[in-house]
Structure 1
Amino acid sequence: MPSFSFLKHPRSDSRQEVHDDGDANLSSRGGEKVQRRMSKRDFFRNLLKKPSVHVKGRDSRRQSVQVKTPDFQSPSTESAVTPASPMSDPNKPLPPTPPEAEIEEAHALKSPLKLDRIIAPVSSLEVHKLFSGAPQFFDRAEGHHTGAPRPMVAFPWDEEVAVRDLCDHLQIQDAAWGSVTAARHITRDRSNNPAVIEAHQKKKLAHYQPRCRERPLMLSMQGIERGTMGFVAALELGVADAQNEEEDFQDEKERSLVQRRRDFVYSKDGLRPFSESMLVDHLSRVTTNYDEDPFNTRRTAVEMYTELFTQLLYPPSRVTDSDDPYSLQVQIEALLDVLGAPGIWIDFSIVEWRIRLGQILWGPQNSSYEEDGVSINSEESLEPGAEKFWLLLQILLACELSIRLDAECQNIDLGKDSVRAAAIQRFDKQATESVKWSMILARQWLEDIQIESVRPRSSAEQKASSGWLATLKGAKLPHIAHGNTDSIDNIQIRGRYQQRQLSGLLHFARKLQWPNVEHLAGKVASNGISMSESIQSTPAAGTPMSSTTQRSSSYFTARRPTIRRGISRPQKISSIMNPTGWLSNSYLSGLVLPGEGMSHFLISTLLENDEIAVARLGEEANLYGGFIFFDKSFWSMACIVGRVLAAGKGARECMGWVSSDVTPRGCGEGWVNIDIEAELPSNLYSDYGKPRIWEKIAVERDGNVIGDSDSSSVLPGDFVIPSDKPAKLPLITLESLDFFAAVDSGLNTPTHEYTPYMEMSEASQIKTYSAMVRFSVAFGEEVKELHFALTHNIHFVTAHPCVPSNHTETLHSISSPTSPIFVSGTTGTLSGHPLHKFFSYTQVALSTILSSPSKSYSTLVTPDDSLASELAVDDKPSKVLIIDCTSESEQISTTLPTNHKHHFGNDMEVLVRALCAEKGWNALISRRGRGCIACAVREAGALGWGSGGVIVRL
């Protein structure tokens, strides 16, 4: 009879099952019938339990880090597995082995989670966390016809203000120095000076800002480390404004400047002829109206149209705006056509012209000479005072253009004239660099200058007024009567904020620890310093040329460099200091165009108003060299000696000048000129001779956090975290700075040349020297003497600050077991940013280099026991040499620095810079506590300093 045992209670069945199953496995009792019955029960029960067991196992695999290996890999556990077939029989043969494809699929489905962590790439979010606080280096073009790309450093993955505001340069500290740059900025003393606050409030209103600024960016020229610059300035050195040449005109040989101007007047398609008195009247009215009503809200567009085309310009010959023939846009286009006329106006995109601006306005107008000595487009204007007339006319037209563009911007800002936004963009494309620089000059004029009348000269002294047509010498044109009205010789051009400028001068003197600073402060307090009331026939300064036009470090050679410039040839090696000279007037008026001119005017004004300094140093000055005065030395940042000594203890830096307690041996008190190699830094250019800044893709790739890797395939093992290797440094002492007269340099050869600004002047009395720095280095008991010749005009750059990331644990896996913890000195653990395998470096201790200073760069960068990242990648930047100057005895802060300005400085830092100056290595100065090694390596890659450049780790 069949069995009905399956109708029994489940619990009893379960107990009975276990008992019977145990009996079946442990004894031979129970026949084949019992075994078949138990197999059927197990079969149905397994069918009911199999899904739940499968789900539970899958969930457990998700929650567990490590999962047991599948059963088919572990024969020892086979006896504990419940039979999976109703016909299971211990004597039955095993089923066939599954195909390899099924085994691989099982491995893929049941691979451990730990294995996933090893193989899975780093996600974009994890990359953002890893490189939070790390600077990113960009090189982007601003649009068509905007010149070279604009470098920049940003933190796109960080929102904290403290991180985003990190910079590698110092803020402009005084409002008197604000015109050093055309870029928007806020000076540090803005809240302390009421006049500065008023000027700042005026600038907050909507106005037109030309898409034009100086190169290199002067905001980035003073790095956090003394004697250094920032990333932006370093990359822009290859396209500096000083390399610009005056434009050549096809008809230059056929027509002179005077002829071109005469034809320009005769064309009757632009300017109207008018007298000097009319020019002075218009300029005075424009300046006054801007001060009272910056955006001309009191005048309509029709009134401005009438004034422009009845007094200054001829009406346009064609209708450019059929909807509104009297619109501001019509007036803007007409003024743009006149100011854009080639070969007529002064081009202030040329550095020398920015400096010579003050010479034209305040320099001597001596009619006893046949020539006035000031040229445009390398041609002489033969009429004394002609250049001043044409310069004032250029300023007037640029002011009229700026006022109308400001009015358009104001209308757009208020929503009154939104359709004109495209017109402003069109103007940006049509305006040349020369026009944009004329507008920068106009803005400086409107904000800082006022015109005052002075006592007219008597009829015996007064010469015939040289008005519009009189400036065209030899042109037989109708004479325009001027009467007794004002002329350009009877006006005084003054600054609105002279007290602000004097405060900035005193600030400059105190920063440099000027020996007679209290005497200077007394003169400022008693109003003893002021602009000259009239133009006097005093000796004028030879023009300081740009620092990149030199054939030696003086940059003032009697023989002009072969590079052609749009300025008269300098006939003297130096500048002349005079209390009523145009150098002082340029600074005190505030009419200083962006660029290096501010540093020249500051030091010149300081010297011209210190009688003791002029008496002891002489009137002749080299503004690109240095001088020794009162047991101190003062150096221009254009001089390699100044950049090296700036790293010493007690050195001070301010606005392009450095003061040091180190005085040279081999020369006395006075001005000096330093002889250096003439070659340009090779690493400013790519292998094809093109400036590095134009290699936009290479700059961003070689500075990218992951190099040229695909962001979707970045693995944890691709990164390492570089660490400092503090060691015991030798005892370094600066013994002396030695000068040797450069007898064979040819720069001291006497010359006698007759110039418009001086009588028969002999050669410069400023001597040229070669510089060498001598050190004693103690390696334990052994003391060596090392000396380094400062022969190369290399540059030092402050490595951009960064904030350490707190997410480096993402890289701590078995894929990168050798990733070290970033340890700085003896202060414990300070995590830095990772470095991708795309980059490679060699870290060499300073003591190793000093033990054999004759080793070449290539030998040092590839040592046998290299600490570099050795992962090879095609098309990667060259290996970077890191000179490790870290010491075990130094204590550094592991927190984010709130004040990036350091107060360090010692003989060891001077030695490292002197070493670089002798070898010709540009150097990136990276200091612990401010930035990590990985970010410095990436910045060196962006600069293209993988060959011929080093990182100095302090």
Structure 2
Amino acid sequence: MSGAGEPRYPMCPIPTVPDPIRKTLKSETDIGASNSSPSHAHSQDEHRGSDHHQSEQAAKPHHAPHHDGPSSHNQLTKKDIETIFSGAPYFLLEKGKHGLWYPQIIFPFDDHDPTIQNLGDRRPLPHASYTLCTLHAHLPVPDDWVIEGETPVHLGHWKRSEAPKRATFDVGVHEVPNMLSVNGKDAGTVGFRHFLELPVADSVLYAGPEKSRPCADLLHISSLPATEAYELMGHYNDPYAQCSDGTIHDRKKLLCEGPVAWKRIGVRDIDLRALVERLQTLKTLRYEILHGDVPKTILDMECIRELYSGLFNRFLYPPVRFLLADAGDPHSLKAQIKALTVVLATPGAWFDFSLIDWRLHIGQILFENPPHADGDFLDPDKSDKPWVHSTLERKWLLVQMLLAAELLMRLDATVRVGMLQNARDIDVSVHDVYEFDRLRSGKLNWDLVTVRRFLDSFHFTYNPVEPDHPSPTIPSPRKSPERHHHRGFLEAFTHHSTSSTHHDESSWRCHLAPSHVDQQLKGLFVFADNLGWPGLAAFKSALRSKLEGEGVERKIEAAYTIPLTNTLHAEFSAVDLKKEMYSRSPSRQLLLLHSRDSIRPLNIGGWITRSWLAGLVIPGESISHLLMATLLENDEEAMATLGPVANVYGGFTYKGKTWWSKKCIVGRVLASQPGTKVCLAWLASSIVPKDSESGEQLVDTWFEVDIREPPRHPGKPRIKHGNRLSFDSTPLGLGELTSGVFLLPVDGPCDSWSKANINFHDLTFSRDTKRTGDKLTVVQKAYANFLLASTATGPPTPVSFALTYNVRFISSHECRPPGGSVNYQNHPNAPDGELSSSSSSHVSYRHHRFPGHPLHRSYAFKWVPLESLTETSHSDGHSSGLGKEEIILLDARGSHDKETFARAWCASVGHHAIIGKVGRTCLACCVREARALQVKVVIRIGDGMSTPSSSIQVLYGGE
């Protein structure tokens, strides 16, 4: 269940200093001799420039009595560099297959220290069930591991029962963006990897299904010679004829055309009992492969000839010539793999789980009876063909899962037996590997990912008795096998009368019994607990009474066996909700929840609840939607108050609080307020918005907040810059490596850069009354309002920022400052609060570690007082005298309201920002991470000056 059996792209170990660092470093034999210890190097004092207000205090570490420090022009040796940059994160992109790049953060100067791996920029997953959101490698979450806020509890009995082994075949794909870093260290933030991958997210790469079209030859058939036209038509209905000929199918039209059309893509009219029994066989085999004591493959159960016979006599048509071109033996595993690959890769014919929409809605096909009020589904009432009945799409999905499982097992056997064990009867060449990579698409890869979750989630049984509810779904007698009508030229050649031996069988006879209800129920409770859901005790008690106790297995099986029906809310039309399926609106993603139905067994919500409780969670963002929707479906009062249509990209008010999706900028800004609770991609806040005109609180409603995407850097997304990212952010900077070119920037006292008193006042919404409904409020503009007092005596000035842009906040990655000590004093020529280093300090602060890492002069930054942001417009925010690569530093330490102020300003002008917490990340590493991500702003938060955090002192023994 943890996904540990689904490995991420393997990261190559880096035993030496990375190239961008290695190329810059000089060996000790190439430079002049230095009589100083690396830790004794010091740099010149730097004063803040009048026009840049730049904090560039230099470090002067403690000297050993028998050594003199090097001059400002002394070059640093490799040993010097490794010492002073110990604990500094290094940002890079690791090159993968197919032109992909994988964000990585390493510590190249700390290979000797395994504890450095404890440093990160994300929160751990709060529960074992949440590992379903990712395909990336991660440590298994212990069974008793629960995170409440940031505190681990139930750690007394660490164990991981039934942890699966790694599957032999690595699909080689991951969810994008990386869901392990969906929650940064700070509320409302994401991690480095997640942010970099946003421009190339699955939702961007796979925007929607391709438009259907016939193959090019059919489009121009009238211009072909007669012999070629007749030959083309003569093979039109051959098996596999429309798999790779350029046809892009319409899945719903293909289903309506029946078994003759299915034959053209190689698929038989499959007997449901045979399909279900085979699914259970493969499910059992997969469990033995992952959990058994002895390595096993499908070849230990069936020989290659038996696999061929079972596949091509029951499920597919025998392979034709083009499928056997390189196979040699037509019965070989290679030929079977190619046939399955070609069939599943047929464009448009199947459900496409590379689309984030189908990853969410897969449970709707399995548990809800059509016609569906939302989604891109077949409406069986619009066809009079005898094989088009209400369970046809469900059966088609089961067929797709079966074929994907057959392919997965053969691939696993090929890798384990043919490649690792070098078996003679399985000949796999490098060419075969390349050919398979060429044939498989994003859709096929996600078939393999999805079928793993599908097999892990259910037990499969066939029951010849129809479910009691609803009435049997056998086609009504009014449907006749054929309607007599005149056919055109093309249809006359392509039409064949169709008879089906299995079309009158309801696919509800395939019963799915969930395997992990207990674990998934605990995961739901952790989600509700971490968000502070009202009436939580009663909520838990009600669900436990239904899903725990004696005889509950039969009740659960009945709940998953009987199909659901759902009705459309009167406020919405079917057209509105069906449009949502492939919508890529950043502020709106509507989901139709299931209203309570007392006549249903267990009464546990609809297909969404059943998907979560079964663990049918496909990697990606859908986990957060499923959790929140399951929570709402099973809270009767919440459903009555908010209605059944949820906007999972927005938020809602309920019982005096607000809950926000992290997809919404309002939630990301409010997250910095005290009392905010976070779990996965949802936040809970005590701040209730008000109507900007009436001043009344907006209660018991969903919100859709209109936003714009922030301006982008010209050219390619940052993640496609390759090695450029690491060159732009290397700790060594650009230029010479002498002691005089490195500075030690520190924050100074909390009032160094901003003496204003800032208080958050309220949140107001300007509503779009034309689009606002009864339970969904459309917000044209959201305003964060503050009171700013520049002096202690003057009246506060109201300040408002419009939350216009969909900016992101990124948690700074932890660093560990190098060991040493430094003394500070107020420089006689510096303004109040500005710090400089001096060995003759009278008032000193001594640290067991430096207050941060050195920063090369090539990294330009500028402190900007918070009160001056009120004069900065959107255009000013992007061109107010700043250098092209200059980083804006905002000092929001010591106050949650200051941080909210800074976040709101970023949202008003369109700047992403690094949230750099004092004690977690030094100022220099924040600036470098901003350069790595091409982010313009660093918001410094926390209390006090730059000192290592208590967690680091404990972790490293207080060096």
Displacement of 1:670 in angstroms is 1.7
Q: Give the Cα–Cα distance (whole angstroms) in 2 for the partners of residues 274 and 918 of structure 1.
A: 57
Structure 2 counterparts to residues 912-931 of structure 1, below 5 A = 912-931=902-921
Unmatched segments (≥5 aa) in structure 1: 1-60, 66-112, 557-572, 751-762, 810-817, 864-875, 888-904
Is 1:539 aligned with 2:567? yes
Contact 1:171–1:188 (CA<8 Å) still a contact in 2?
no
Displacement of 1:502 in angstroms is 0.6
**Larger deviation, residues 250-259 vs 781-790:** 250-259
Deviations 1:89-109 (A, max 9, x none): xxxxxxxxxxxxxxxxxxxxx
Q: Give the Cα–Cα distance (whole angstroms) in 2 for the partners of residues 366 and 266 of structure 1.
A: 22
Contact 2:340–2:403 (CA<8 Å) still a contact in 1?
yes
2:866 paired residue among 846, 852, 858: 846
Displacement of 1:804 in angstroms is 0.5
Is 1:648 aligned with 2:673? yes
SS at match of 1:440: helix
Q: Which residue of 2 aligns with 1:687?
A: 714
Displacement of 1:478 in angstroms is 4.1
Displacement of 1:764 in angstroms is 6.5
Contact 1:726–1:825 (CA<8 Å) still a contact in 2?
no
1:242 paired residue among 167, 190, 203: 203
Structure 2 counterparts to residues 709-858 of structure 1, below 5 A = 709=735, 713-728=736-751, 729-743=755-769, 746-748=770-772, 765-768=776-779, 770-778=781-789, 779-784=791-796, 785-806=798-819, 821=837, 830-849=850-869, 852=871, 857=876
Displacement of 1:928 in angstroms is 0.8
| Aligned-partner residue type, residue 584 of structure 2 | T
Structure 2 counterparts to residues 145-544 of structure 1, below 5 A = 148-159=100-111, 160-190=113-143, 197-200=160-163, 202=164, 204-243=165-204, 244-245=206-207, 246-248=209-211, 251=214, 257=251, 265=261, 270-292=266-288, 295-296=297-298, 297-318=300-321, 319=324, 326-366=331-371, 374=377, 384-411=390-417, 415-417=421-423, 420=428, 422=430, 423=432, 427-453=436-462, 455-457=465-467, 461-464=471-474, 476-482=496-502, 487-528=506-547, 531-539=559-567, 542=577
Q: Which residue of 2 aligns with 1:29?
A: none
| Aligned-partner residue type, residue 142 of structure 1 | G
Displacement of 1:533 in angstroms is 3.8
Q: Give the Cα–Cα distance (whole angstroms) in 2 for the partners of residues 286 and 415 of structure 1.
A: 22
Q: Which residue of 1 aligns with 2:243?
A: none
Displacement of 1:363 in angstroms is 2.2
Contact 1:628–1:671 (CA<8 Å) still a contact in 2?
yes
Q: Give the Cα–Cα distance (whole angstroms) in 2 for the partners of residues 266 and 627 of structure 1.
A: 45
Q: 1:936 to 1:473 in 2, by over 3 A?
A: farther
**Paired residues, what number?**
757
Deviations 1:894-921 (A, max 9, x none): xxxxxxxxxxx83232222122222222
1:883 paired residue among 874, 885, 890: 890
Displacement of 1:439 in angstroms is 0.3
SS at match of 1:526: helix
Displacement of 1:64 in angstroms is 9.5
| Aligned-partner residue type, residue 840 of structure 1 | A
Contact 1:383–1:471 (CA<8 Å) still a contact in 2?
no
SS at match of 2:160: helix
**Larger deviation, residues 396-405 vs 298-307:** 298-307
Is 1:128 aligned with 2:82? yes
Displacement of 1:264 in angstroms is 7.9
| Aligned-partner residue type, residue 787 of structure 2 | S
Q: Give the Cα–Cα distance (whole angstroms) in 1 for the partners of residues 605 and 720 of structure 2.
A: 44
SS at match of 1:527: helix
Contact 2:767–2:777 (CA<8 Å) still a contact in 1?
no
2:931 paired residue among 930, 935, 941: 941
Deviations 1:908-942 (A, max 9, x none): 32222122222222111001110011111111111
Q: Give the Cα–Cα distance (whole angstroms) in 2 for the partners of residues 603 and 460 of structure 1.
A: 28
Contact 1:351–1:546 (CA<8 Å) still a contact in 2?
no
SS at match of 2:546: coil
Contact 2:142–2:160 (CA<8 Å) still a contact in 1?
no
Unmatched segments (≥5 aa) in structure 2: 1-31, 37-66, 147-156, 220-248, 291-296, 485-494, 549-555, 570-576, 597-603, 691-695, 823-833, 943-959
**Larger deviation, residues 784-793 vs 475-484:** 475-484
Q: 1:332 to 1:64 in 2, by over 3 A?
A: closer
Q: Give the Cα–Cα distance (whole angstroms) in 2 for the partners of residues 773 and 724 of structure 1.
A: 27
Displacement of 1:496 in angstroms is 0.6
Q: Which residue of 2 aligns with 1:671?
A: 701
Q: Give the Cα–Cα distance (whole angstroms) in 2 for the partners of residues 705 and 859 of structure 1.
A: 26
Q: Which residue of 2 aligns with 1:583?
A: 608
Q: Give the Cα–Cα distance (whole angstroms) in 1 for the partners of residues 814 and 862 of structure 2.
A: 21
Q: 1:465 to 1:136 in 2, by over 3 A?
A: farther
Contact 1:168–1:231 (CA<8 Å) still a contact in 2?
yes
Q: 1:735 to 1:647 in 2, by over 3 A?
A: same
Q: 1:259 to 1:736 in 2, by over 3 A?
A: closer
SS at match of 1:670: coil
| Aligned-partner residue type, residue 411 of structure 2 | L
| Aligned-partner residue type, residue 505 of structure 1 | L
Q: Give the Cα–Cα distance (whole angstroms) in 1 for the partners of residues 864 and 925 of structure 2.
A: 18
Q: TM-score, normalised by structure 1?
A: 0.71
Percent identity of paired positions between Structure 1 and Structure 2: 28
Displacement of 1:226 in angstroms is 0.5
| Aligned-partner residue type, residue 588 of structure 2 | S
Q: 1:348 to 1:859 in 2, by over 3 A?
A: closer
Q: Give the Cα–Cα distance (whole angstroms) in 1 for the partners of residues 251 and 192 of structure 2.
A: 41
Displacement of 1:793 in angstroms is 1.7
Displacement of 1:198 in angstroms is 4.0
Q: Give the Cα–Cα distance (whole angstroms) in 2 for the partners of residues 738 and 416 of structure 1.
A: 68
Q: Give the Cα–Cα distance (whole angstroms) in 1 for the partners of residues 845 and 161 of structure 2.
A: 50
Q: Give the Cα–Cα distance (whole angstroms) in 2 for the partners of residues 538 and 428 of structure 1.
A: 41
2:901 paired residue among 887, 905, 911: 911
Q: 1:342 to 1:855 in 2, by over 3 A?
A: closer
Displacement of 1:493 in angstroms is 2.3
Q: Give the Cα–Cα distance (whole angstroms) in 2 for the partners of residues 599 and 64 of structure 1.
A: 58
Displacement of 1:508 in angstroms is 0.5
Displacement of 1:227 in angstroms is 0.3
Larger radius of gyration: 1
Displacement of 1:723 in angstroms is 1.3
Contact 2:327–2:335 (CA<8 Å) still a contact in 1?
no
Q: 1:264 to 1:189 in 2, by over 3 A?
A: farther
Q: Give the Cα–Cα distance (whole angstroms) in 2 for the partners of residues 615 and 845 of structure 1.
A: 47
**Larger deviation, residues 121-130 vs 149-158:** 121-130
Q: 1:819 to 1:909 in 2, by over 3 A?
A: closer
Q: TM-score, normalised by structure 2?
A: 0.71
Q: Give the Cα–Cα distance (whole angstroms) in 1 for the partners of residues 87 and 583 of structure 2.
A: 36
Q: 1:941 to 1:791 in 2, by over 3 A?
A: same
Deviations 1:604-647 (A, max 9, x none): 11011111211222223222211111221111111111111111
Q: Give the Cα–Cα distance (whole angstroms) in 2 for the partners of residues 271 and 317 of structure 1.
A: 13
Q: Which has the higher contact order (CA 8 A, sep 6+)?
A: 2
Contact 2:703–2:776 (CA<8 Å) still a contact in 1?
no
Q: Give the Cα–Cα distance (whole angstroms) in 2 for the partners of residues 247 and 821 of structure 1.
A: 63
**Larger deviation, residues 528-537 vs 604-613:** 528-537
Q: Give the Cα–Cα distance (whole angstroms) in 1 for the partners of residues 211 and 188 of structure 2.
A: 37
Q: Give the Cα–Cα distance (whole angstroms) in 2 for the partners of residues 827 and 189 of structure 1.
A: 40
